[in-house]
Amino acid sequence: MKIFSGIRPSGQIHLGNYLGAIKQWIDLQKENECVFSIVDLHAITTPYDPKELKKDILNTAIIYLAAGVDPDKSIIFVQSRVQEHSELAWLFETITPMGELNRMTQFKEKSKENKDYINSGLLNYPVLMTADILLYKADAVPVGKDQEQHLELTRTIAKKFNQKFGDTFKEPKSLILKEGAKIMSLTDPKRKMSKSDDKKSYISLFDSPEEITKKIMSATTDSGKEVKYNITKKPGISNLLTIYSLLSNQTTQEIEKMFVKKSYSEFKKSLAEVVVNYLEPFRRKQKEFSAREIYVEEILNQGKSKALVIAQETIQEVRSKMGLS
């Protein structure tokens, strides 16, 4: 299969991004043609600081590498350096119904969060995402649950294009994990873990052991004392149990048994240890890659060259089918 996925460099990559998306990438790259982008053009649709963005782009590349994305197997590149993404997005905008964009949940949520920053880029975000995916004619897109609606729109746009201009694109499916597709905030377990939220609400993959322990120990839990998975009655504990389960490779039932008659605090201490140990290689590799910025830039340059070859071929085909050249 051809696979495309990306993350916006809009802050610190967290456990949700990792468990919902990046972890899948590592398995998928073994047997598929994978393209993983640092989607910086998406990051500028919400408030940002240009100096920070530059750092976040590099840090996101380092996360990909530290998590195990292999540049010999997968293409890793920065979206804005391949201009065909913007061009294809514009071309798709001309066949995307406005109504479809207005009803997107992410647009509504981000507009509410950033009332002074409701720009048309934010509205058109899913069209750019469609261009990202279809430029590489991807069969599948590994993402967290929050992106499913955008993937539906991608399929709609692919279908529309094919009907109007002739068979060109496949309708890509989303690869959404059964567990981990929606990791919740540590401070408000009814909300998704998000990098643009308060730092206490997420665990960054590069947090220090002290930071991780502090965040987990102060994570919102529920009334009652039992460590039991119950998403409606105990959303806080259930979210922590999901994280425990995914990082320790044990089922939630096995973990519940370990904590029968034990307190929330004992459970959280143990979870903090699991998370600290799991993320230890990430912290180590981050230090290694941060000291080798030129090497990371070289990987991004090579990725760009490989991505360009595919992107230019698709753009030529689209231009020609649309009567532009």
Contacting residues toward ligand AQP, per CB under 6 A:
7-8, 10-11, 16-17, 19-21, 143-144, 146-147, 181-183, 192-196
Question: Which of 30, 51, 178, 195 is an active site residue?
Answer: 195
DSSP secondary structure code for residue 172 in this structure: P
Minimum CB separation of residue 76 from ligand AQP in Å reads: 15
Minimum CB separation of residue 7 from ligand AQP in Å reads: 4
Of 196, 314, 216, 302, the closest CA to residue 264 belongs to 216
Q: Can you name the residues that pair with 249 across neighbouring β-strands?
A: none
Cβ atoms within 10 Å, residue 281 = 12
Are the C-beta atoms of residues 52 and 229 closer than 8 Å to each other?
no
Q: 21 or 158: whose CB is closer to ligand AQP? A: 21
Are the C-beta atoms of residues 315 and 92 closer than 8 Å to each other?
no
C-alpha dihedral (112, 118, 120, 123), degrees to nearest 10: -10
- Joined together, the tokens standing for residue 63 give 């996360």
Q: Of all residues in this chain, which one has the CB nearest to ligand AQP in the complex?
A: 20
Q: Annotated catalytic, 304?
A: no
Q: 85 or 192: whose CB is closer to ligand AQP? A: 192
Question: Which of 23, 110, 215, 268 is an active site residue?
Answer: 110
Minimum CB separation of residue 235 from ligand AQP in Å reads: 13
CA distance 74 to 197: 30
Minimum CB separation of residue 164 from ligand AQP in Å reads: 29
Q: 182 or 285: whose CB is closer to ligand AQP? A: 182
DSSP-assigned letters across all residues of 283-305: HHHHHHHHTTHHHHHHHHHHHHH
Q: 215 or 315: whose CB is closer to ligand AQP? A: 215
Q: 219 or 315: whose CB is closer to ligand AQP? A: 219
DSSP secondary structure code for residue 200 in this structure: G
Are the C-beta atoms of residues 114 and 121 closer than 8 Å to each other?
no
CA distance 104 to 273: 38
Q: Annotated catalytic, 192?
A: yes
Minimum CB separation of residue 104 from ligand AQP in Å reads: 12
Minimum CB separation of residue 48 from ligand AQP in Å reads: 9
Question: Which of 23, 192, 215, 234 is an active site residue?
Answer: 192
Q: Can you name the residues that pair with 325 across neighbouring β-strands?
A: none
Q: Annotated catalytic, 110?
A: yes
Q: 70 or 109: whose CB is closer to ligand AQP? A: 109
Report how far Cα 50 is from the mean position of its chain's Cα atoms.
21
Q: Which residues are catalytic?
A: 110, 192, 195
